[in-house]
Amino acid sequence: MRAALVERKLFGGTCVNTGCMPTKTLVASAYAAHLARRGSEYGVAIEPPIQIDMKRARARADMVSTNARTGVETWLRGMSGLTVFQGHAHFEGPDRVRVGESVLQAPRIFINVGGRASVPDMPGINAVNYLTNTSILQLDAVPEHLVVVGGSYIGLEFAQMYRRFGAQVTVIEKGPRLIAREDEDISEAIQQILTDEGIAVRTNATCIAFSPRPDGIEVRIDCTSGQPQAVGSHVLLAVGRRPNTDDLGLKKAGVATDARGYIIVDDGLVTSVPGIWALGECNGRGAFTHTAYNDFEIVAANLLEGANRRVSDRIPGYALYIDPPLGRVGLTEAEARKTGRPLLVSTRPMTRVGRAVERGEMKGFMKVVADAETQKILGAAILGVNGDEAIHGILDTMNTGSSYPELQWAVPIHPTVSELIPTVLGNLRPVS
Ligand SMILES: Cc1cc2nc3c(=O)[nH]c(=O)nc-3n(C[C@H](O)[C@H](O)[C@H](O)COP(=O)(O)OP(=O)(O)OC[C@H]3O[C@@H](n4cnc5c(N)ncnc54)[C@H](O)[C@@H]3O)c2cc1C
């Protein structure tokens, strides 16, 4: 087939340029700083105070992103049958897309425009110089006091990273707890991990407002307790994402969106217009690189191999890359309870995981939720060292459709975090 690909900015998109890759590279630098501070616990002498070279840390993140971006771009530009257009694409009709002076006509159009940081109309927001996940990556120096507005996945990763780089950090969350999508015990444990490192966490911030001050930016919190405001040298807005669908001319194509601008798709990711598909973050069915990639796998299999793959068959899995990380798959316990099914739940603290003890990284816990009748695992969380990797044992089991007793017979490798999974399964107990 002949194909055209249109990119308006940086090849590789969010993950490569301003998302997963630069942030996980900086998380690695922050981890190195953390371990260096703890060196003496391991019998490694490092003279305190340790120095953070933010320019060097940033350069390392830039290099990782640049290598990935140029690799993708070179690959695309060299692909036979593919023409790459650089510019902003917008629809002129259901089978026509304009890019500058060029009009492209095709029987199949795939929208994969991603999203960007949402900047809600909060009081005073336009009067201050706030940072987003994109602009914060340009910082060459460690902020004196970083105020992170938004206590969810993106905000918490930056909060811990900058605390480890030496900044004073305050997280302001309007809800009653951090990462409210997770179970309460997970939120509590994560808050404890962050406060143990000296991060101030302010929840129930119902009246967030911003104003410039000579010494920085004031963020009004208006909690019922504590200081009614925090003054930061820098403020990071991490209050959600919005899809890049507002400037796409979707109306001209007849492509329907929901109230938040996400493109409405069916189970095979076809939009309201046959011949137009929407993949990745812009369809609201996943907010991760692996879900965007899986969207591609679904569409490719259905179109090219006559398969009938459906996005609703996907078992959601993801990680939160604080340290220790949270690996997640399937339902939370709260979601499982809402199904009304008879449940089994088991938890185990990381203090009882040999590998964690040996590494001196014992924060967090594991939790598995299963259906008591079908014996299928419904969901799991591993908040702990290597939790982002160890969760895959459960994720894979769920994807094979096996029941949990089958996984109990696996003989895992010692000493690993994963080896405790059969033990956790062995302790599954009914919950009321
Ligand atoms: C700080 C941060 C950390 C993250 N960490 C992780 C992580 O650890 N793991 C994970 O799985 N996910 C992570 N994510 C999420 C992940 O980056 C996104 O879910 C993923 O990149 C979405 O892929 P996509 O293909 O849907 O869109 P994108 O990667 O956003 O790509 C869309 C592309 O379309 C281009 N575009 C948009 N509109 C137009 C137009 N009109 N014309 C032409 N081109 C256009 C954009 O320039 C962009 O290059 C993170 C995100 C952020 C912000």
CATH of residue 383: 3.30.390.30
Task: Chunk the chain into consecutive blocks of 10 residues (it has 432) and report each block's average pLDDT, rounded to whole numbers.
Answer: 97 98 98 97 94 97 98 98 98 98 98 97 95 96 98 97 98 96 98 98 92 94 73 97 98 98 98 98 98 98 98 98 98 98 98 97 98 98 98 98 95 96 97 90
Ligand 1 first shell, C-beta below 6 A:
6-10, 13-15, 19-20, 23-24, 88-90, 112-115, 133, 154, 244, 248, 280-281, 287-290, 292, 321
Beta strand pairing status for 326-330 and 377-383? antiparallel
250 shares a domain with 226: no
Supply the pLDDT for residue 206: 86
Supply the pLDDT for residue 411: 94
- Ligand 1 centre to CA of 23 (Å) is 13
| Rounded-to-integer distance, Cα 329 and Cα 151, Å | 20
Structural contact between residues 76 and 82, judged by C-beta atoms closer than 8 angstroms: yes
Is 393 inside any structural domain? yes
Domain boundary among 264, 289, 313: 313
Q: Which residues contact 213 (CB under 8 A, 6 or more apart)?
A: 231
Q: Which ligand 1 atom minimizes the distance to the CA of 286?
A: 19
Is 208 inside any structural domain? yes
Domain boundary among 287, 313, 339: 313
Is 410 inside any structural domain? yes
Supply the pLDDT for residue 315: 98
- Ligand 1 centre to CA of 225 (Å) is 38
253 shares a domain with 111: yes
Rg of the chain, C-alpha, whole Å: 23
Q: Is omega for the bond preceding 176 within 30 degrees of 0, making it cis? A: no
Is 102 inside any structural domain? yes
195 shares a domain with 135: yes
424 shares a domain with 350: yes
**Nearest alpha carbon, ligand 1 atom 26:** 280
Is 144 inside any structural domain? yes
Is 120 inside any structural domain? no
364 shares a domain with 280: no
- Ligand 1 centre to CA of 232 (Å) is 28
- Ligand 1 centre to CA of 22 (Å) is 13
- Ligand 1 centre to CA of 113 (Å) is 8
**If we measure between CA atoms, which residue out of 119, 118, 116 comes closest to residue 210?**
119
Supply the pLDDT for residue 432: 84
378 shares a domain with 324: yes
Total number of domains constituting the chain: 3
Q: Which ligand 1 atom minimizes the distance to the CA of 10?
A: 49
- Ligand 1 centre to CA of 46 (Å) is 39
Question: Which secondary structure element, helix H or strand E, spans residue 337, and what is its range?
Answer: helix 333-338
Sheet containing 200-202: order of strands: 200-202, 168-172, 145-149, 234-237
Angle between the N-to-C axes of helices 153-165 and 184-196, in degrees from 0 to 180, rounded to the nearest 10? 20
**Nearest alpha carbon, ligand 1 atom 8:** 20
108 shares a domain with 36: yes
Supply the pLDDT for residue 156: 98
249 shares a domain with 235: no
Domain interval for residue 88: 3-115+242-313
352 shares a domain with 248: no
Domain boundary among 284, 313, 342: 313
**Nearest alpha carbon, ligand 1 atom 39:** 113
Pocket test for ligand 1, best of 23, 112, 113, 157 (most atoms within 8 A of CB): 113
Is 266 inside any structural domain? yes
111 shares a domain with 247: yes
253 shares a domain with 110: yes
Angle between the N-to-C axes of helices 153-165 and 20-37, in degrees from 0 to 180, rounded to the nearest 10? 40
Q: Which ligand 1 atom minimizes the distance to the CA of 280?
A: 26
The b/e string for 138-160 (b: 16+ C-beta within 10 A; e otherwise) is: ebeebbebbbbbbbbbbbbbbbb
Q: Which residues contact 171 (CB under 8 A, 6 or more apart)?
A: 148, 150, 151, 155, 156, 159, 178, 194, 199, 200, 201, 202
Supply the pLDDT for residue 207: 87
Residue 196 sits in a domain whose CATH number is 3.50.50.60
Pocket test for ligand 1, best of 20, 21, 236, 265 (most atoms within 8 A of CB): 20
Is 215 inside any structural domain? yes
Supply the pLDDT for residue 225: 59
Q: Which ligand 1 atom minimizes the distance to the CA of 14?
A: 29
Q: What value, to the nearest 5°, has the Cα angle with vertex 44 and ends 41 and 49? A: 85
225 shares a domain with 306: no
